[in-house]
Structure 1
Amino acid sequence: MKYRFCFTGLLLLAALLCMAAPVKATRIKDLANIEGVRDNQLMGYGLVIGLNGTGDDIKKSIFTKQAIINIIKRMGMALPEATFQQIKTKNVAAVMVTSQLPPFARPGSPIDIQISSIGDASSLSGGTLLMTPLKGPDGSTYAVAQGPLAVGGISFGGKAAKAQKNFTTSGRVTGGAIVERAVNYALPSSGNILFQLRETDFTTASRMADAINGHFGAGTAKSIDSRTVSAVKPVGFQGDMVTFISDLESIEVAPDGPAKIVVNERTGTIVMGQDVRISTVAVSHGNLNLVISESTEVSQPNPLAAGTTVATTKTTLSAVEEEGNLVVLPMGINLGEIARALNAIGATPRDLIAIFQAIKAAGALQGELVIL
C-alpha cells in the first residue's frame, strides 16, 4: 500500500509538471545591444541613367539638369553654355541613395543601398546608378555606390489608361556600395561593457544581471538603471573579449514588461499583452439598428376614366434593438479568458475598443491602454 501511494504521488507530480506552462526565455543578444556597436546611416545624391523615357522632366526638375551639366563638365567635355541649355533628355532621374554602414565594416566591404526618386520620374526600371559618394553626418565620405537597380514593380500604359504594380520609383542594389572608410571603434580589451536594453524595464535589467552572474560568477554584472547593464570580463577570458561577449549573448533571460492593450480604431486592430488583468466588472453589450426605407407608390385611373396619375412617397421607419447581454468578468482573469468572455457577447473589434475604454474609465483595467 505504501508503494502504491508513492507511485500515485509520482504520477501526480509528473502530470503537474507536464501541465505547467514553460517559462519563455530569450537570448541576451535578442534583448540588448552593446553600447557603441551600432549601424551608421549614410546618404548621397546621385543620378540614375538608362531609363526608357521615364526619367525626370528637365524643364521642371532644375536640379536634375544641373547635375547632368556637372557630370558632363567633370568628364572633360567642353561644350558651349547654349548647348547645355538645350538638354531635354528623359532618360535620367535624380535620386537619393541611402544605406546603413554596419559596425566593424572595413574598407572594401560591400553594403546594400536603397535608391529613391526625388524628381517627377515615373519609373526607375532598367536604370543604372552612377558613381555616388555616400556621406555620414560629419560630411565625410564612407562609401561609394554604383550599379544597376532592382525595382520590385512594373508600370505601363498610355495616355488614357495605366497599370501599375508596387512602386517603381524606388529600387535596391544588393552590395551596390563599397566601403571606403571605416568608423573608428574597437572593443575594449578590459573593463566594463555596457548593454543597452531595447525595451526599458527594471525587472528585465535585474534578471539579465542575475543571469550573467549565475553563468560567470557573482560580481560579473550589475544593472545600472532600467536600460543599462554593465558586465566586466572575468579573469578566465584574458584578452579574448569576443569569446566572452559570444558566451554572454547566448545566456537566456525571461523578459518582463508592462501590461498593455494597444488599439487602432482606424483599422479595428487590438493587441493585448499576456499580463493584462482586470478587476471584477460587468459588461453589457447591445446595438440599436435604425432602418429608414422609402418607396414610391403610383396611383393611376382606370382605362378611359378621367383623372391623372399620382405618385406618392411612402416612408417606413423601423428600430431594432438587440438584447443586451450582461457578462461579469471576474478579477484577475488572463488574456484568453478576456477574449472568450467578450467574444461570447458578440462584440466586434470596434465594439471591443469601446468596451476597453469603458473598463479603463471605470478603473477596472490593470494595465495601460494605448490608442493609436
Structure 2
Amino acid sequence: MIRLLLASLVALFLAVPASADRIKDLGGFQGIRSNQLTGYGVVVGLPGTGDDNLEYTVQSLKAVTSRFGFQLPPGANPGMKNAAVVMITADLPPFAKPGQRLDITVASMGKAKSLRGGSLILTPLLGADGQIYAMAQGNLAVGGLGAEGADGSKIVVNVPSTGRIPEGATVERAVATGFDTAPTLTFNLARADFTTAQNVAGVINRTLGAGSAQAIDAVSVAVRAPEGANVRSTLMSTIENLDVVSAEPSARVIVNARTGTVVISSAVRVGPAAVTHGKLTVRIDENQRISQPAPLSGGQTAVEQRSNVSVEEEKKPMFLFAPGPKLADVVNAVNAIGASPADLVAILEALKEAGSLKAELIVL
C-alpha cells in the first residue's frame, strides 16, 4: 500500500508541469466575505422529547408569550416536554439583500432528546455588532433518530438534537462591504507567499497598465481603481479571471501519526546521508512436558516447563543518498528496503534530526 501511494505521488508530481491558476482560485478581495449570525429561540411541538421543565426553558417560554401580551401567572411552572430552547446559526453571504432566504442550523441547548417534529418560533438572528440581520422561523428537518425503552435501554442514530431549516431565515438588512468606496481594492491570498503576491501584481500591471497594482506583503496586493460599484465590479471580474503562475510551495513532509499517512511535496530534497533500517524480532515459546516416573520408583508425576527463546534480525541493505536527490530518489530508496508507514516515519524523523532532510516535517 505504501509503495503504491508513494509511486502514485511521484507520477503525479513528475507528470504534471507547472501551470497557471486563475487569480480567483488563490484568494479573494478584502471585505467580500460571509458573516456569521446567531440567535436564541424556542422549538415547540415536540412529541414529549423536549427539555422537561428546565428553568431557562420556562423563562424562554414566558418571553415568547409576552410578545403577544400574554403573561404567565407568577410562580407558574408549566411542563416543557414539548418545547426546547435552541441556538440558531447561519451564514450571511456577501451582498445578501433584504428578502433573500438563508439556510439555518438549529441545535438544542438543554436536555432535549430530539428535535424531530418541532417548529421554531420566530427568532431574530444577530451579527457580531448586535444588530438584527435576519429573522428565522419554520419546521425542522432532523436527520437523527432516538428511541428509549421502559427499562432504560435506548438507541440513538446520528444526532437527533440538531436539525436544519432550508431557507428558514429571511434577510432583513444588508451588510455594507465598502468595496465601492474604499481608496483601493485589496486582494488577499489564501496562503502567504511573496513570490505569488509579486506574480499576481505583475499580471495585473501587464493587463491594466503599469502601476495599477503593487504587492504590499506576502498576502495582500493593492489595486488602484476608480470609485463606483459598476466600474469596480467589472474590474474585479477581469482581475479574478486572469491567469497567474503560483510559486512552488515550500518543501514539506506531512505525517498523520494516527493513520500512518505520509505525504511528501515535490520540493523535498535530502542531503548526503547513509541509511539502514532493520527489523529485530524476539520470539519466546513456552511448552510444558509431563514427567512420569517409573513404576515403584517412589517418584511423583510433575509438570516440567520448557522455554525456547530465539532472536531473528531481518537484514536490510544500507542505502546512500547522493547530494540533492529529488522526491523520486527518496521514494525509490525507501521502497528498496520495503519500509512500512511506521518505518518511513522513523526514517524521515532520523533524517530530519541529522540535518539531511531539507523540508519541514509536520506531524498531524
Q: TM-score range by the shorter chain?
A: 0.7 to 0.9
Tell me how far 1:282 sits from its aligned partner: 2.2
Alignment deviations for residues 281-307 of structure 1 (CA, whole Å, 9 cap, x no partner): 222111222333444545567999987
Structure 2: how far apart are the matches of 1:238 and 1:92? 47
* Paired residue secondary structure (2:275): strand
CA distance in 2, matches of 1:62, 1:173: 26
1:148 is matched with which residue: 123, 139, 147?
139
Which residue is 2:234 aligned to?
A: 243
Partner of 1:119: 110
CA contact (8 A) 1:189 1:241 kept: no
Aligned to 2:130: 139
Aligned pair count reads 349
SS, match of residue 276 in structure 2: strand
* 1:69 pairs with one of 62, 69, 91: 62
Q: Structure 1 length as normaliser, TM-score?
A: 0.83
**1:298–1:311 contact (8 Å) kept in structure 2:** yes
Structure 1 counterpart of 2:22: 27
> Cα distance 1:250–1:69, how it changes in 2: closer, same or farther (>3 A)?
same
| Structure 1 residue aligned with 2:158 | 166
State whether residues 289 and 304 of structure 2, in contact with CA within 8 Å, keep that contact through their aligned partners in structure 1. Answer: yes
Unaligned runs of 5+ in 1: 1-18
Aligned mates of 1:222, 1:344 — CA distance in 2: 49
Q: Work out which of the residue numbers 186, 208, 222 in structure 1 matches 2:214.
A: 222
Instruction: State the partner residue of 1:46.
Output: 41
Deviation at 1:26, TM superposition (A): 1.6
* Equivalent residue letter for 1:49: V
TM-score w.r.t. the length of structure 2 is: 0.85
Name the SS of the counterpart of 1:285 in structure 2.
coil
Structure 1 window deviating more from structure 2 (346-355 vs 46-55): it is 46-55
Q: 2:337 matched to 1:349? A: no
CA shift, 1:171, in A, is 1.9
Matched residue type, 2:185: I
SS at match of 1:63: helix
1:355–1:43 distance in 2 versus 1, CA, 3 Å: same
Give runs of aligned pairs for residues 1-372 of structure 1, distance below 5 A: 21-58=16-53, 61-82=54-75, 84-85=76-77, 87-158=78-149, 159=151, 161-188=153-180, 191-233=183-225, 240-256=231-247, 257-298=249-290, 310-372=302-364
Q: Distance in 2 between matches of 1:128 and 1:122?
A: 15
Structure 2 residues without counterparts, runs of 5 or longer: 1-13
Pairwise CA RMSD: 2.9
- Please tell me whether the aligned partners of residues 271 and 357 of structure 2 are also in contact (alpha carbons under 8 angstroms): yes
Contact 2:57–2:80 (CA under 8 A) maintained in structure 1: no
Mean alpha-carbon deviation: is it higher for 306-315 or for 133-142? 306-315
1:64 maps to amino acid = T
Seq. identity, %: 43
Indicate conservation of the 8 Å contact 1:301/1:307, yes or no: yes
Give CA deviations for 1:43-66 in whole Å, capped at 9, x if unaligned. Answer: 1112222223322232xx432232
Alpha-carbon shift at residue 280 of structure 1 (Å): 2.5
**Do 1:295 and 1:315's aligned partners in 2 also have CA atoms closer than 8 Å?**
yes
- 1:338 shift after superposition: 2.4
What secondary structure does 1:90 align onto? Answer: coil
SS in 1 for 2:188: strand
- Which residue of 2 is the match for residue 5 of structure 1? none
State the shift of 1:308 in Å.
6.5
